[in-house]
Chains A and B, each alone.
Chain A
Amino acid sequence: MMETAWIIPLFPLLSFLILLLFGKRLKESSAVVGILLTLASLVYSVLVLFERFSAPTFKTEAVWLTIGDIHLTAGFEVNQLNALMLVIVSLVSCLVHTYSKGYMHGDERFHVFYAYLGLFTFAMLGLVLSPNLLQTYIFWELVGVGSFLLIGFYFYKEEAKQAAKKAFIMTRIGDVGLLIGMILLFWQTNSFEYDNIFKAVADGSVTQGWITLTAILIFIGAMGKSGQFPLHTWLPDAMEGPTPVSALIHAATMVAAGVYLVAALFPLFAASQTALMTVAVIGGFTAIFAASIGLVQTDIKRVLAYSTVSQLGYMMLALGSGGYVAGVFHLMTHAFFKALLFLAAGSVIHAAHTQDIEEMGGLWKKLRLTGPLFLIGTLAISGVPLLSGFFSKDEILAAAWEGGHPVLFLLAVVAAFFTAFYMFRLFFMVFTGEARSEMKSVHESPSTMTLPMIVLGVLAVVSGYVNTTWFGSFLGDWLTDGNKVLSGSHTEGPAWIMVVATLVSLAGIFLAWLMYGKRSLSRDWLSGKGSTLHTILYNKYYVDEFYQMSIIKIVKGISYFLRFIDVFLVEGIVKGVGGAVQGLGKTGSKLQTGQVQTYGAMAFVGLAVLVVIFALTGGYLK
């Protein structure tokens, strides 16, 4: 199976092409095409994963371009990380395809939506299979295009249009870093191949300074895609896209691409303490920064968006602290429970026709299936024991304790507390209490929507057990098997970390219950309208406003200046030349009277002038 793993990304591509050509005729049955083809990808990925358990890494490539004596290759590779990512991506994609059949029902551009989903899935699967940086970069950009199309799917809404542009431009800013880092690496190692780069790094043929510089530049690319501070602002805005898109892009795929890139290039990062520290600090800061914003947001999807940013920060923190397994493990569990939460949120929105949690309430009785599933997702992300999030978060905290800085560990613990608090605030406000506005026509979603949620709900509960301190760390052992750099990265922290993690998450839940469930504690100090803290958090620390005032102003200033040059200088010269020639022509045409005598006179004058010149210069006789 592994020899033909290249076929996995081609199924969604086929779906994209079919829907592009025949989508208009297929209408709503486009969904069937998309679902079946991604299902084929999923089955194939699962088979590849199982084969990879027993077989060694498979890699094949062919020469693609020859420049001088350097050969650029293209191919694919199935190692542990790739095989795992293939399953995560194709599983979530398949479930989102199924879910969208119900969610997008009745949309005029139904088939277009499925075509975009196919393109995006193709790009993501291709990215995961790439064995070299150049190929990764190509798919990396393709993922950007796919997300642009999906976020801007409701392009007639001004916000969606702006959000799509913002997402594309913000990630492009990061991509510049990735591109520069890639080129510098190629300059230093003469290769885009991951294997060759790692070999050169291990040899010491690349100096420490270059390793740090390229690793940080590549991390900037990962920051853009994974929404790390300060390039995080696109992610919450991207919630303007349809909710299934949020589940696909912001849970399992696009935002995970940044984490995946750091994980895939982990040996490079591991060779530089400075680079690892940068990753850890940015990740830890983003985790707590985004979590604190999530505390006060009132849009259900925005809360989840900031939660995603915060969890991605967690993964980066884990990777930066040397916890390769912890980062990848959390990437997997987060993909499941965050996709579940987004899909459940979509179901809530579908039923309640609003995204404002202040207007919701008391939906527990009305949404018999969505409610418990949302609760499972909430418990998992909060790190309540026995669910998947608990194990992965514990692993991250252990990694931060062992490999990172005490301050970073503290940040992670506080962020965990925030996470538990805002997730249960969300849960209590949506599902308990009285309906705060009229919710008469609330009904449960169709089975195409609930089925994917049930699958993800099961995974959100059980997926943590592949790597626990109690039943053995199967995933960790397998991921690091046969890799010298990674083998030390799996750490088992002291037992008290698990106790702390549990206590912190329970404390967060208890506080949320007091404030929003039982309402025995006033919520005014946090979400009162006048509170300064609330204003700052509600406006997301004014980061957008700061960008508006600083960077965008500067860019706009430059663009106005360039526009001035273009309009007055360049265009002035062009128009001046044109005008002069035109004026000359107009004067000339006035001489053309049509009178034969005028022409005769002109000919005579011309002759006279010639004779005068001839007489003065002496002509040929000279």
Chain B
Amino acid sequence: MSTIPASAFLSLALILFCIGLYGALTKRNTVIVLISIELMLNAVNINLVTFSKYGIKPSITGQIFALFAITVAAAEAAVGLAILIALYRNRRTINIDEMDSMKN
């Protein structure tokens, strides 16, 4: 059980986070961007769980925190998709680079 070292989990989380970040910053499709953000959140969850087991003071807090994060992520995904649909109805597009109203 304890043959897998903590660094492996942390590396996985790092890779996941980087893929998520890359997707969030570069993809034009807003749905992909949302999915990428989910990836980053999950990378964080892996981190939390890892440290709840391998941390300096192991405790259950990390795992409970991860559950919270999953719940909040689900709600966030629902709200995000709802905004996306509202946007699509208004602008007839889901390309993120066409949404630059912050400029004016």
Instruction: Say yes or no for B96: interface residue by CB 8 A criterion.
Output: yes
Q: Which of A582-608 contact B (CB under 8 A)?
A: 592-597, 600-601, 604
Partner of A596, one of B21, B26, B96: B96
Residues of B within 8 A of A593 (CB): 100, 103
Residues of B within 8 A of A597 (CB): 24-26, 33, 96-97
Residues of A within 8 A of B97 (CB): 595, 597
**Can you list 12 A-B contacts with CB-CB less than 8 angstroms, sorted by A residue number?**
A592-B103, A593-B100, A594-B101, A594-B102, A594-B103, A596-B102, A597-B25, A597-B26, A600-B25, A601-B25, A604-B21, A604-B25
Residues of A within 8 A of B21 (CB): 604
A585 to chain B, nearest CB (A): 15
Instruction: Say yes or no for B99: interface residue by CB 8 A criterion.
Output: yes
Residues of B within 8 A of A594 (CB): 100-104
B33 to chain A, nearest CB (A): 8
Partner of A595, one of B24, B100, B104: B100
CA distance A595 to B25 in the complex (A): 10
Please give the residue numbers on chain B whose beta carbons come within 8 Å of chain A beta carbons, in ascending order.
21, 24-26, 33, 96-97, 99-104
Residues of A in contact (CB 8 Å), total: 9
Residues of A within 8 A of B26 (CB): 597
Q: Which 9 A-B pairs have the closest CB atoms?
A: A594-B103, A594-B100, A594-B102, A601-B25, A597-B25, A600-B25, A595-B100, A595-B97, A593-B103
Name A597's closest neighbour in chain B (CB-CB). B25
Residues of A within 8 A of B24 (CB): 597, 600
B85 to chain A, nearest CB (A): 18
B103 to chain A, nearest CB (A): 3
CA distance A594 to B104 in the complex (A): 8
B89 to chain A, nearest CB (A): 19
Q: Are B99 and A596 in contact (CB under 8 A)?
A: yes
Residues of A within 8 A of B100 (CB): 593-595
Residues of B within 8 A of A600 (CB): 24-25
CA distance A600 to B103 in the complex (A): 15
- A128-163 interface code vs B (CB 8 A; 1 in, 0 out): 000000000000000000000000000000000000
Name B26's closest neighbour in chain A (CB-CB). A597
Name A601's closest neighbour in chain B (CB-CB). B25
Residues of B within 8 A of A592 (CB): 102-103
CA distance A597 to B24 in the complex (A): 7
CA distance A600 to B100 in the complex (A): 13
Name B28's closest neighbour in chain A (CB-CB). A597
CA distance A593 to B21 in the complex (A): 20
CA distance A547 to B101 in the complex (A): 69
Apart from A594-B101, A597-B97, A600-B24, what 14 extra A-B contacts exist at CB < 8 Å? A592-B103, A593-B100, A593-B103, A594-B100, A594-B102, A594-B103, A594-B104, A595-B99, A595-B100, A596-B96, A597-B25, A597-B26, A597-B96, A601-B25
